[in-house]
Amino acid sequence: MAATTRDALREALAEVAFPASKNDLVDAAIRKGDPTAVQALRDIAPTQYADLDEVFRVVTLGDGGV
């Protein structure tokens, strides 16, 4: 499983309108050009995410949750 950081996710997903699907999240990270966030988001379940906090709970974080 790929890991990313909360800061990287915040930046990669800054323009996402929640609720958002997994595909919406991956597409946003691709547009931001963050391959680590893209890979980490590809590993999550294909469902709707209500907000960024929900994404933080399911993504593998490599920064100790910071």
pLDDT in tens, 2-57: 889 999 999 999 999 999 999 999 999 999 999 999 999 999 999 999 999 999 99
Q: What's the pTM?
A: 0.90
Place of tokens 């966030």: 37
**pLDDT computed for residue 1 by the predictor:** 72
Instruction: State whether residue 63 is helix, strand or coil.
Output: coil
Angle at 1 between CA 64 and CA 44, to 5 degrees: 90
